[in-house]
Amino acid sequence: MNRVNGLLFLANIQGASWDRWRHGFVTHDAAPPPLAGTLRPHDVPVLAAQAQKREEDGDVLPAPRYAVYSDRMRRLSVMQGDEDLEVRVL
């Protein structure tokens, strides 16, 4: 992450835990329920901080847009910082 980009990674690791003795993950539930929620560019702390600073400085330029790629959907979107992306992880 730097001043102009960031990464949000969402994974469903329900039903698994790290075993310190085995030095690996142990599966407790091979079929956990899916997760659903929303992500937005401003969930990346550095991007949210930049937006807050722009607001505090009274910046009147159009709000920045962000390129958002979903590997699961194989889709690249252009979004506003507070725009929601619906996600579901199986």
> Does residue 90 register a pLDDT over 90?
no
pLDDT at 1: 64
pLDDT tens, 40-83? Answer: 999 998 888 888 888 888 887 777 899 998 888 899 999 999 99
Task: State the DSSP string of 32-76.
Answer: PPPEEEEE-GGGSHHHHHHHHHHHHTT--SPPPEEEEEETTTTEE
User: Is the pLDDT confidence value at 33 over 70?
Assistant: yes
pLDDT computed for residue 83 by the predictor: 93
pLDDT at position 39 over 70? yes
On the 0-12 / 13-18 / 19+ scale of CB atoms within 10 A, 16 is: middle
- Residues forming a β-bridge with 2: 5
